[in-house]
Amino acid sequence: MYAQRPLAYAPTPYSYTPNAARSASINLDEEVKLTSSSAERDLYESLAEIYSIIVTLDGLEKAYIRDVVTEAEYTETCTRLLKQYKSSLGDDTVAREFVDLETFKRMWGLECPRATERLRIGLPATVEQASHSVPAGSKASGSSGTPGGASGTLILTATENFITFLDALRINMVSKDALHPLLSEVIQSVNKVTDVDFENRGKIIQWLITLNQMRATEELGDEQARELAFDIEQAYQGFKSTLE
């Protein structure tokens, strides 16, 4: 009978001749390098860390809302994540590649609305709002939020933090990286004394958010610095009124 002829388009074991140059340039056993230098590798590792921080922070916020973690656990973890986020963006190369939070989220397909809000504020929710979780010994039982039984050491620390911050403004320390840590210490020390939402406490939070959204080396203008000093002085007076 007739021998079956192979179709013209069907390759035979002898019909493919590999390109010698191509086969010489591709080694399937060779590790593919995703970066061409150690600096580039460090950059992408930093961006990966930021990605991980955002996702983790979003999960932490959900866990706190659902009461899966205690206030103390939430505050400690959230504070650490916020510090790691700021530290990662302290590198100019990373900051340039990151651009801003919304750009980074679009680039990598992130949503994370709760983490976005927390990073915008720059404070744990327990610090932003007067916490009802007070350290042992800082209040007398049955004080119902009043600082009458608060430890004298905690009151002294809060007072000193107010004075330190106002003194920093008086000597013209007006950069974000100088003021934000000091004002964070003010609100955290105040919250250990009282959970009362005293007069002008909200001004402290508003200024912390304003400072958080500035670049690290960015400075307040003269008018802003005067307004900040006035608002914090008023908050200090409001705090002292709760001690009476």
SS3 219: strand
**Comparing 100 with 20, which gets the higher pLDDT?**
100
SS3 216: coil
With a cut of 60, say whether residue 3 has pLDDT above it. no
30: left (phi over 0), alpha (psi -120 to 50) or beta: beta
Place of tokens 């920093």: 168
Minimal CA–CA distance to 205: which of 127, 132, 131? 127
Backbone angles phi, psi at 229, to 5 degrees: -60, -40
And the tokens for 131?
Answer: 């916490």
Compute the CA torsion angle 200, 202, 205, 211 (nearest 10 deg): -60
Question: For 48, how many CA atoms within 13 A lie in the half-sphere containing its CB?
Answer: 6
With a cut of 60, say whether residue 18 has pLDDT above it. no
SS3 175: strand
Yes or no: say if 176 and 214 are a contact pair by the CB < 8 Å rule: yes
- If you write DSSP's letter for every residue of 100-160 in order, what string do you get? -HHHHHHHHT---HHHHHHHHHTS-HHHHS--S---TTSS-TT-TT-GGG--HHHHHHHHH
d(CA 19, CA 16): 9
**Comparing 166 with 92, which gets the higher pLDDT?**
166
What is the predicted pLDDT for the residue at 144?
43
Place of tokens 């080694």: 27
Multiple choice CATH, 38-128, 3.40.250.10, 3.40.50.150, 1.20.1440.200, 3.90.550.10: 1.20.1440.200
Minimal CA–CA distance to 229: which of 157, 179, 154, 158? 179
Per the prediction, the chain carries an average pLDDT of: 83
d(CA 162, CA 236): 7
Q: What is the pTM of this model?
A: 0.70
Percent of the chain beyond pLDDT 70?
Answer: 77
pLDDT tens-place string over residues 115-143:
999 999 999 999 887 654 444 344 433 34
Multiple choice CATH, 147-241, 1.10.357.10, 3.50.50.60, 1.10.1740.10, 1.20.120.1130: 1.20.120.1130
And the tokens for 189?
Answer: 């020390």
What is the predicted pLDDT for the residue at 30?
58
What is the predicted pLDDT for the residue at 32?
52
What is the predicted pLDDT for the residue at 130?
65
Rounded to an integer, the average pLDDT of 48-64 is 96
Domain boundaries of the chain, sorted by first residue: 38-128, 147-241
pLDDT tens-place string over residues 198-239:
889 999 999 999 999 888 778 999 999 999 999 999 999 999
